[in-house]
Amino acid sequence: MTVRLPSVVGHRGAAASAPENTLAGLRRALALGVRCVEFDVKLTADGVAILMHDDTLDRTTDGKGRVAATTAAAIRSLDAGAWFAPEFAGERVPGFEAAIDLLLETGLDANVEIKPCAGRETETGAAVARILAARWPRDRAPPLLSSFAEASLVAARAAAPALPRGLLVKHVPADWRARLDRLDCATFHCSHRELDAATVAAVRGAGFPMLVYTVNEAERARTLFGWGVDCICSDRPEAILAVAP
């Protein structure tokens, strides 16, 4: 499966200028001129897919406790914007379906990161892929799924084989090629921190487009693009767009 990555992806929406993983954040990315956003999806206690990065509610809402131990109804009552800035007070934790609907309405593309709470890798990968496949129209290129959790990628493939997948890692492992092949992934996503030009050349030479995260400085982005990196995931996508090829 061939996937063309855009040169810039808004990280968790546009995390430097709007609360992460909210609909306001996705809209902010669009307003900044970004064509594609990344966001994280995990399951509530009652199995509802929501946008959230952390395993707990504490940092990005006015609630407390583990997402995996809290129902969707309880999470829906929380404020997910006021922690970031008063102008975002009243913003809610979006359900995955609401985020998909926003993509469909606006034409934004997405990299949907499957971010399971520990022990829920298979269940989360299957749910995310199933929901996306059921809701996404056949005549439009679907979002790219990615995950650090290989079990989630395996489950996503089983649930919706036609959805493209990317393997997400922090450090590039020696067996990156074997993992990509085994998981049938179309793209490779890694942290920019320990990356070097030779690794980028090897991955791209093997035919895998590369996304790197999280790069917020234009100078660093210029270097990475110079190495051949296809796509940069950024909290400040507008700064990276300014230097994108």
- Active centre residues (catalytic): 11, 53
**Alpha-carbon gap, residue 217 to 211, rounded angstroms:** 16
Cβ proximity to Mg ion: between 74 and 102 the closer is 102
Residues that bind Mg ion (CB under 5 A): 40, 113
Maximum CA extent, the chain: 49
Q: Considering the rule CB under 6 A, would residue 5 count as an interface residue with ligand G3P?
A: no
Cβ proximity to ligand G3P: between 89 and 244 the closer is 244
> E strands, the chain, where?
8-10, 36-43, 49-51, 109-114, 144-147, 165-169, 187-191, 210-213, 231-234
- Name residue 196's amino acid: D
Q: Which of 26, 38, 91, 156 binds ligand G3P (CB under 6 A)?
A: 38
Q: Given the structure tokens 């035919």, which residue do they identify?
A: 207
Count Cα atoms within 13 angstroms, Cβ side, for 53: 15
CB of 173 to Mg ion, least distance (A): 19
Binding mask 144-173 for ligand G3P (x = CB under 6 A): --x---------------------x-----
Q: Considering the rule CB under 6 A, would residue 121 count as an interface residue with ligand G3P?
A: no
Query: What angle in degrees, to the nearest 10, is found between the helix axes of 197-205 and 218-227?
Result: 50
Q: Is the dihedral of CA 47, 66, 118, 149 positive or negative?
A: positive
Under a CB-based contact definition with an 8 Å cutoff, are residues 228 and 198 in contact? no
Residues in binding contact with ligand G3P, number by CB under 6 A: 10
Q: Strands 36-43 and 49-51, how do they pair? A: antiparallel
Q: Which of 189, 208, 234, 237 binds ligand G3P (CB under 6 A)?
A: 189
Residue 192 binding result from Mg ion, ligand G3P, none, given CB thresholds of 5 to 8 Å by partner type: none
CB of 148 to ligand G3P, least distance (A): 7
Q: Considering the rule CB under 6 A, would residue 109 count as an interface residue with ligand G3P?
A: no
Under a CB-based contact definition with an 8 Å cutoff, are residues 185 and 211 in contact? no
**Alpha-carbon gap, residue 128 to 231, rounded angstroms:** 23
Cβ proximity to ligand G3P: between 5 and 30 the closer is 5
CB of 11 to ligand G3P, least distance (A): 6
CB of 199 to ligand G3P, least distance (A): 17
Q: Given the structure tokens 């084989």, which residue do they identify?
A: 161
Q: Which residues bind ligand G3P (CB under 6 A)?
A: 11, 38, 40, 53, 113, 146, 168, 189, 213, 233
